[in-house]
Structure 1
Amino acid sequence: MLDGLMRRLIDPPLSRAGAALARYGVGADAVTFLGLATGIGCAAAIAFRADALALALLAASRLCDGLDGAIARARGKTDRGGFLDIVFDFVFYGAVPLAFALRDPETFALPAAVLLFSFYVNGASFLAYAAVAAKRGLESKVRGIKSIYFTIGLAEGTETIVAFALMILVPAWFPIIAYFFAGLTIMTALARISLAWGVFRDDPEDEAAQTQDPPAPPTPRA
């Protein structure tokens, strides 16, 4: 929901920084791996209650997540880079709730599990929509130039980072934030499923044509 606003604010400085790094020979994939390392480090710091370090690593991880795309646009996008970017984002999003569950299993395990379930459902709807959209040749630049089709929703990257930051700043609020954000995430998934129901509707005549047996070959005359 907030990604569109944030992109208008941060894309210009990120593009300039990405172009400068590209001129110095910095590769987008290297920054993507650095983003994964700092994201996993953030989760580890949460689990070990090093909250100030976790907050700094959260910021570093998300900075890398923005810079790798800017470098890729300057040097040329690759399918491998787009694949790594999406997969590593999902790794990071799953690592943070897991870290809170490890930090205090008795209090945080259930809300972390609920949050992870919502991420699972939302991720499945997101990737399935992108796959079918690609099959149909659909394109969208509503969230900038991306390697796969992006749909908007209530819970996007900006909201996720804000939620994670609040969890780190006030760990005692983790259950409340986790349940609330899980609700937003499920609503996003349901909205995407509803959108797909309409957008991916096949014409009944097309469906009938796809299920009909192919015509028999003509019988050769004697």
Structure 2
Amino acid sequence: MLDAAARRLIDPPLNRLGRSLARAGATADGVTLAGLGLGLAAAAMIALGAPGWALLPLLASRLADGLDGAVARATRRTDWGGYLDIAADFAFYGAIPLAFILADPVANGAAGGFLLAAFYFNGTTFLGYAILAEKKRMQTSAQGIKSLYFSNGLLEGTETIGFFVLLCLLPGYFAPLAWVFGAVCYLSGTLRLIGSRTVFRD
């Protein structure tokens, strides 16, 4: 819901930094993989009981996630790069709740499982929408220039990162926060599914 507004603020500095990285020889795929590595390092720190320290690699990973597209725009965008980016994003999004489950299975297991199931459903509606949008040659740049069609929703990347930051700051409240966020994820995916019936009606 907040991604479009966030992109207007962060894209100009990201594009400048992306051009600098491209001139220094960085590749978009390399930045994507570095971001994934940082995100998984954050998840490992959470699982080991250090969620506060995990904020550093977590936020750095999301910076890299924004920079890979900027580097691609400064060099050459590829379908493979877009595919790698979305796969890395989903790996990261799943790793953080899993890390909290591993950190305290008794307290966080049920809520974490519910949250992961909600992510799974919401991600399916998102990617399915993108596939059908490609078949209809639909385009949008509301969330920036992307390799896939990005449909909006109640919860997008900005809200999810904010949620992860909140979890790291308040790890003792993981369970209630996960139940609430998971429920809104299900609502977001359901609304996207209902809306797609009109958009993609033959």
Q: Same fold per TM (> 0.5)?
A: yes
**Aligned-partner Cα distance in 1 for 2:136–2:15:** 30
Matched with 2:168 is 168
Matched with 1:209 is none
Matched with 1:143 is 143
**Aligned-partner Cα distance in 2 for 1:53–1:165:** 11
Q: Secondary structure at the match of 1:88?
A: helix
Identity %: 51
Q: Deviations for 1:130-189, whole angstroms, at most 9, x for unmatched residues?
A: 001111111111211100111111110000001000101110111111111111111110
Q: Secondary structure at the match of 2:9?
A: helix
Matched ranges for 1:122-201 at <5 A: 122-201=122-201
- 1:100 matches 2:91: no
Which residue identity lines up with residue 194 of structure 1 in the other structure? I
Matched with 2:9 is 9
Q: Deviations for 1:29-48, whole angstroms, at most 9, x for unmatched residues?
A: 10100001001001000000
TM (normalized to structure 1)?
Answer: 0.89
**Aligned-partner Cα distance in 2 for 1:149–1:9:** 21
Matched with 2:117 is 117
**Aligned-partner Cα distance in 1 for 2:126–2:76:** 25
Structure 2 gaps, min length 5: none
Residue 198 of structure 1 deviates from its aligned partner by 0.4
Residue 52 of structure 1 deviates from its aligned partner by 2.9
Structure 1 residue runs of 4+, over 2 Å off? none
Structure scoring higher RCO (CA < 8 A, sep ≥ 6) equals 2
RMSD: 0.8
Matched with 2:45 is 45
**Aligned-partner Cα distance in 1 for 2:183–2:85:** 25
Residue 53 of structure 1 deviates from its aligned partner by 2.3
TM (normalized to structure 2)?
Answer: 0.98
**Aligned-partner Cα distance in 2 for 1:122–1:166:** 20
Which residue identity lines up with residue 37 of structure 1 in the other structure? G
